[in-house]
Amino acid sequence: MKLTILKTHSILKIFLLSFIAIAASNAHAGKLYKWVDANGKISYQDQPPPKSGKILSEKEVISKADEAQEGDTDLPKVVVYSVNECELCDRLISVLRQNKIPHIELPLEDDREAQKKILAKASNIIAPTIFIGETIVQGGSEAGLKEQLRSAGFEIEQAKPKNRLSADQ
């Protein structure tokens, strides 16, 4: 009887440790791929699609642990709601990446909760919509986004002046 209890206890210990190891290995930052297969079925996965699939979008994602760690700063959380094939969305997300601004990218299409959140702060839904803390930035320009980020306390790289030639050169 005592031997059976010890075996059961050991098996439970091994199972628990295995479960923790697997969970920890999956809790990391990575990419999320949205892709379509030959039959038109759309999939979201953390692995690139097979050669027969076509990538529709590719997003950097962070784990909840990384997000919590980033949340330890006094800077506001930055969340970007965007749509596929949106040149302005891509340019503004590029500004965030170039300046190493921690942010979360979320799709705007078909996300009714995100749309409700945006409509609670703004009169319409525009892509991209960026929340910098409680401040909302819709559409806009790279310069406008940088100014909003600066006023929120983020360090933004200054644009390098272009080397212009004078008329006598």
Burial code (b: 16+ CB inside 10 Å, e: under 16) for 5-18 equals eeeeeeeeeeeeee
Q: What is the pLDDT of residue 65?
A: 43
Q: What is the pLDDT of residue 2?
A: 52
pTM: 0.54
> Structure tokens of 167?
């008329």
Average pLDDT rounded to a whole number, residues 39-57: 82
| 141 compared with 15, residue with greater pLDDT | 141
User: Burial of 26 by CB count in 10 Å (0-12 exposed, 13-18 middle, 19+ buried)?
Assistant: exposed
User: Burial of 159 by CB count in 10 Å (0-12 exposed, 13-18 middle, 19+ buried)?
Assistant: exposed
Domains detected in the chain = 26-61 (no CATH), 73-151 (3.40.30.10)
| 71 compared with 125, residue with greater pLDDT | 125
| 81-104: pLDDT as tens digits | 999 999 999 999 999 999 999 999
Q: What is the pLDDT of residue 23?
A: 47
Whether the CB-CB separation of 147 and 130 falls below 8 Å is answered with no
Average pLDDT rounded to a whole number, residues 142-164: 83
Whether the CB-CB separation of 137 and 130 falls below 8 Å is answered with yes
Among 25-34, 66-75, 99-108, 120-129, the least confident range = 66-75
